[in-house]
Amino acid sequence: MHDLVVREPSPRERRLFSPYLETARCVLEPPRMSDAHAVLAGWARDEEATRYLLWSPHTGMDVTLLVLAQMAHAWTEEAPSRPWVIRVRGDHKPIGMIAAEVEQHRVQLGYVLARSAWGQGYMTEIVSELTTRALEAGFARVEGLVHPENRGSLRVLEKAGFALEGRLRRYHVFPTLGSEPCDTLILSRCA
């Protein structure tokens, strides 16, 4: 019988993975089960918001509750991924989510906003803040993987100082687009 080995987070992970973060206009917090209605109605069942994501639109509240429970659980152990909901300061209703996944010295970001919050610079603000924070905390690299036609996300990363590194051929399946693996662009900002 083997003992369960729980990986201790490094000091840089502890600094990046503060459960409560602030940007100029937003706060980032661990998701709560009470966010479920806003998550489902805001973006999780929206085929346009999820078009270039790696998961299918939620088919109902049962899926959203399950996903939120998994996300809440990620904060209870030393998991390599941390999901935050995004709220505009002073407004309780979440407008989106962002997750940071750590692999050794690298951090990969994934994010989505409700369509009602698009085009106001929120994601550029949040990605810029999290990336700066990660690099200052000692990570060497923050990366994003993006469908080549996802011009909004590519622009967010470009505005946050990321550089295009290449095209990973037939790399990700984007379930809303079908079952065929698609080429995926990789961008990064490095220390």
Q: What does the binding site for ligand COA look like in residue numbers (CB under 6 A)?
A: 49, 52-53, 111-113, 118-124, 146, 150-153, 155-156
Q: CB of 87: closest distance to ligand COA in angstroms?
A: 14
Burial tier of 33 (Cβ tally within 10 Å: 0-12, 13-18, 19+): exposed
Residue type, 17: F
* Identity of the residue, 50 or 139, whose beta carbon is nearer to ligand COA in the bound complex: 50
Per-residue DSSP letters for 67-94? HHHHHHHHTTTT-SEEEEEEEETT--SE
Residues in the chain, total: 191
DSSP letter, residue 117: G
Q: CB of 50: closest distance to ligand COA in angstroms?
A: 7
Handedness of CA 18, 93, 71, 75 (dihedral sign): positive
Q: CB of 54: closest distance to ligand COA in angstroms?
A: 8
Q: CB of 129: closest distance to ligand COA in angstroms?
A: 12
* Identity of the residue, 28 or 53, whose beta carbon is nearer to ligand COA in the bound complex: 53
How far lies 13's CA from each of 98, 177, 190, in Å?
A: 16, 34, 16
Q: CB of 7: closest distance to ligand COA in angstroms?
A: 27
Contact 52, 151 (CB under 8 A): no
Q: CB of 51: closest distance to ligand COA in angstroms?
A: 7
Residue nearest to ligand COA (CB): 152
* Identity of the residue, 71 or 146, whose beta carbon is nearer to ligand COA in the bound complex: 146
How far lies 27's CA from each of 9, 69, 182, in Å?
A: 23, 20, 33
* Identity of the residue, 10 or 150, whose beta carbon is nearer to ligand COA in the bound complex: 150
* Identity of the residue, 10 or 176, whose beta carbon is nearer to ligand COA in the bound complex: 176
Q: β-pairing, 163-173 with 81-88?
A: unpaired
